[in-house]
Amino acid sequence: MQRGRRIAFDVGSARIGVAICDPDGILATPLERIDRADDELDQVKSLLDDYEPVAIYVGLPVSLDAKFTQSTYEALYFAEDIETITTTRVRLIDERLSTKMAQANLHSAGRNVRNSRAVIDSASAVEILERALDILKAGREAGKSVDAINENLP
């Protein structure tokens, strides 16, 4: 696995969760979420400039039966937007159940739904990044390119 930081985004309709890992890909940690607004791409660019990741992962929300939803397309558009501001590769990671896993982890840490609302988006981004890291550690390429997803649109 190539050494370097990796960053992940969990795209929601109101907020974007963000997570980053250390250069050795051992620990994924949440960053402050981005509120969806006109300047969200500027905020992403700032994060990319600050952390200089070797890979960017965007969660791809598909339904449990692998169907594309409006959220799937929103994540795909977001990934396409990121590609316009960086030369770093952008990969889409199947994020089915990442929010549920993040909620379960927060609950086991003693946080309920009410007091975890502010961090759930970035906790979901941590889940996405950890999936990508696990795949990389197994010696495989994590996620799919934007082009590969676009070629197989339903």
**What pLDDT score was predicted for residue 122?**
83
Measured between alpha carbons, how far is 17 from 43 in angstroms, rounded to an integer? Answer: 12
- Asked whether the beta carbons of 15 and 30 are under 8 A apart, the reply is no
| Helices assigned H by DSSP within 3-119 | 40-51, 70-83, 98-108, 113-116
CA nearest 59: which of 109, 106, 87, 99? 99
Instruction: Indicate yes or no: pTM above 0.95.
Output: no
Range of the domain at 37: 6-151
- Asked whether the beta carbons of 143 and 57 are under 8 A apart, the reply is yes
Residue 53 carries which DSSP code?
-
121, burial (CB in 10 Å: exposed 0-12, middle 13-18, buried 19+) = buried
pLDDT digits (tens, 9 = 90+) for 107-150: 565 555 555 455 667 888 999 999 999 999 999 999 999 999 98
**Domains contained in the chain, number:** 1
Residue 1 lies in a domain: no
**What pLDDT score was predicted for residue 13?**
87
Residue 4 carries which DSSP code?
S
Residue 76 lies in a domain: yes
Measured between alpha carbons, how far is 7 from 21 in angstroms, rounded to an integer? Answer: 7
**What pLDDT score was predicted for residue 102?**
47
- Residue 102 CB partners (closer than 8 Å, separation 6+): 120, 123, 124, 126, 127
Q: The CATH number of the domain where 55 resides is what?
A: 3.30.420.140
**What pLDDT score was predicted for residue 3?**
95
Residue 62 carries which DSSP code?
B
Pick out the chain residues at pLDDT < 50. 102, 106, 116
- The structure tokens 């030369």 sit at 87
Average pLDDT, rounded, for the chain: 86
